[in-house]
Amino acid sequence: MTNKIKIQIRDLWFYYNTNLILEDIHLDIRKNCITCITGPSGQGKSTFLMTLNRLWENIDGAKSQGIINIDFENGFEEITVPGYPLPQLRQKVGMVFQTPNPLPMGIYKNVAFPLKLIGEKNRDSNFEKVKTALKKAFLWEEVKDRLTQDASLLSGGQQQRLCIARTLVLNPQILLLDEPTSSLDETSVEMIEQLLVILKQDCTIIMVSHYMDQIKRIADTTLVLSNRQLSKQ
Amino acid sequence: MRFAVKENLAQLFFSGAAVLSGAATLLILGFMILLSLPVLESGLLMNILTDPWSPGHGQFGILAMIVGTLYIAGLSLLIGFPISLGCSFFIQITSPHGPGKLLKKLVQFMTAIPTVIYGFVGVFLLVPVVRQVFSYGSGMSILTASLMLGILICPTMILFFSQSFARVPKNFLLAADALGGTPFQKLIYVIIPHAWPGLLTGLILGFGRAMGDTLIALMISGNSVMLPSSILDSARTLTAHIAMIIAADFDSIEFKTIFICGSVLYLLTSCGILAARILDRRQQG
C-alpha cells in the first residue's frame, strides 16, 4: 500500500437530465490500493465509476462537470477535458461489470479482443498475453484445453474471471469493478477476492460492493456514497 | 378447455396462413412456367436467352435485358448497402435519441413515397448531373438508374438493419465501449457479426426490390436493348422490358417472351435468396 495519489477528483457534479446524482465530490484515490465504495442502492455508485472512464457519455441525458486527474506515470492528466482520447483512456482504466458480459465468441477470442482493438497482430505475442491474463485471473488451468469453446458455456464465476482477464490483457493501471461478485457463488467470490488482493500490486482498484464482510476482507479504503456525497468510513 | 380450443384454432389459422403463402409462391412459379410453355415447346428458348432483341429481324433475345437487370440491381445494392449500414448505425447506436430518431422518421416517410416521384427526381435532377459530370451520352444510364434505385432501396434496408442492430445485446456494446473500442470497431467486430442474419434479410429484400422495380429503370436507364459495356451505357431491365412489350399482339412471340422474362426474374431472385442463405449457414458455422 502506498500513499501516492493515483486519481484526483475535484468539484465533480453529475446529473441525469435534471436529477443531481453526485454533488461536489472532492476525493483523492491512492495508488495500488483497493478502494471500496458502498452505500444504499440507486445512489450513483456505478455512475461514479463511469465518470472515471467516461463511460457515462453513452447514456442519454447524462451530464458531468468537474475535474478528474489521473497519474498515468507521467504526471497528472486531466481526463475530463473534451477531446481526451477515450479509447486510450478506457484501455488504461479497465472496467468489469456486475453481470459478466463475455462477447459471443470463443474463450481465447474474448480475451484477445482488446488486443485486436489496439491493432496487435503478432499471434505468438498475443497468445502469451492472453495466457498471462488468464493465469492472472486464475482461469488458465480451467480453460487451457478448450480455448476455442464458446465463452457463454462457462459458469457464471468463470465468465466473470474471463471478463477480468479480458480487461487485464491490456495491463490497465486502474481497474473499476461494479459489484463483480454479486451474482456469484461463495467459491467464485473467494477466488475473485484473492485475485483482487494480488492484482493491487500492479493496479489501482476501485470496487463497488454491498457486502460489508467483503469490504472488511479486502478494502484498504472504504467510501460511502449517500445523499450524493462520498465520505470516508 | 376453452383455452385449448382457442390455442388450436390459432395454431390452425397460422399454419393455414403459412401453407397459403408457400402455396402462392409455388403457384406463381407454376403459372409462369405454364405461360412460358408455348415458347418452351417451340424450341426457341435458347434463342430467346442468347439472341439480341430485334423483332424486325425475327430475333427476340432477352440476354441484354438479363445483363441490364443484373448490372442495375447489383450496382444499386453496392450503392445502397454502405449508405444503409451507416444510417442504421447512426440511428441505432450513435444517436438513438437525438438526430437518429429524426432520421428514422424520415426514412419511414421515404418508404411511403411513390416510386414515380423518385423517377421524376431521377429524370429532372440526376440525369442532367450525370450527363454533365461524365459528358457521355444522354445521362440515362445504368449508373443513373443504379444511383436512384440505390436510394430507393435504402429505406427498406435501413429499417431492417436498424431492427437487427437493436437486437444486439446492450451488454456486448458496453463491453466493447469499456475496452476502448471505437464506434467503427464496435460496428465491425460486435454489431455486424451479431446482426448478420438481419443484415442478410435486409440485403435480400433490397436486392429483390432493385430487381423488381419497373418504373425507375423504365424512366432513367435509357432502355437500350444493346449489351452494355460500361455503367455509363444505357440498358433495359427485364421488368422495364415486360412493361414495354405487354401492349404487343397477344399471339406474337414478342409478347410470349415476357413470360420467359418473368420466369428468369423469378429464377434470379430465387438464386439471390439461395446464395444469401448458403452464406448465412457458412457464417453461422
pLDDT digits over B135-144, tens only?
A: 888 899 999 9
- Is the CB of residue B102 less than 8 Å from the CB of residue B202? no
Test B178 with A99 for CB contact under 8 angstroms.
no
- B198 within a domain of the structure (yes/no): yes
Q: Report CA-CA distances (Å) from B279 to A134, A189, B200, B201, B204.
A: 34, 43, 9, 12, 12
Say which CATH number the domain at A80 has: 3.40.50.300
Q: Is the dihedral of CA B26, B27, B32, B33 positive or negative?
A: positive
Q: What's the whole-number average pLDDT of chain B?
A: 90
- A119 within a domain of the structure (yes/no): no
The pLDDT tens digits for A78-118 are 999 999 999 999 999 999 999 999 999 999 999 999 999 99
Question: Phi then psi for B130, rounded to 5 degrees?
Answer: -60, -40
- B164 within a domain of the structure (yes/no): yes
> Closest to B179 (Cβ–Cβ): which among A60, A90, A99?
A90
Three-state secondary structure call for residue A78: strand
Q: pLDDT at position A111, please?
A: 96
CA B181/CA B186 separation, integer angstroms: 6
Domain of A196?
A: 5-102+171-232
**Buried b vs exposed e over B134-173: b needs ≥16 C-beta within 10 Å?**
eeebebbbbbbbbbbbbbbbbbbbbbbbbebbeebeeebb
Q: pLDDT at position B20, please?
A: 93
Chain A residues touching residue B185 (CB < 8 angstroms): 117
Say which CATH number the domain at B115 has: 1.10.3720.10
- A117 within a domain of the structure (yes/no): no
Chain B residues touching residue A102 (CB < 8 angstroms): 175
- B23 within a domain of the structure (yes/no): no
Residue B129: pLDDT over 80: yes
- A109 within a domain of the structure (yes/no): no
- B142 within a domain of the structure (yes/no): yes
DSSP assignment letter at A104: S
For testing contact with chain A, the best of B177, B179, B188, B196 (most A CBs within 10 A): B179
pLDDT band at B73 (very low <50, low <70, confident <90, very high): very high
The pLDDT tens digits for B232-251 are 999 999 999 999 998 888 78
Higher pLDDT, B39 or A115: A115
- A113 within a domain of the structure (yes/no): no
Which neighbouring-strand residues pair with B57?
A: none
Number of domains in chain B: 1
Whole-prediction pTM:
0.81
CA B173/CA B183 separation, integer angstroms: 10
Chain B residues touching residue A87 (CB < 8 angstroms): 180-182
Q: pLDDT at position B283, please?
A: 66
DSSP assignment letter at B263: H
Q: pLDDT at position B206, please?
A: 92
Show the low-confidence residues of chain A (pLDDT under 70).
Answer: 1-2
Which neighbouring-strand residues pair with A96?
A: A177
Which neighbouring-strand residues pair with A64?
A: A14
Three-state secondary structure call for residue B281: helix
Q: pLDDT at position A29, please?
A: 94
Q: pLDDT at position B135, please?
A: 87
The pLDDT tens digits for B148-172 are 999 999 999 999 999 999 999 999 9
The pLDDT tens digits for B172-230 are 999 999 999 999 999 999 999 899 888 988 999 899 999 989 999 999 999 989 899 89
Cell (9 digits) for A56: 457515462
- A215 within a domain of the structure (yes/no): yes
Q: pLDDT at position A56, please?
A: 93
Q: pLDDT at position A1, please?
A: 61
- B35 within a domain of the structure (yes/no): no
- A159 within a domain of the structure (yes/no): no
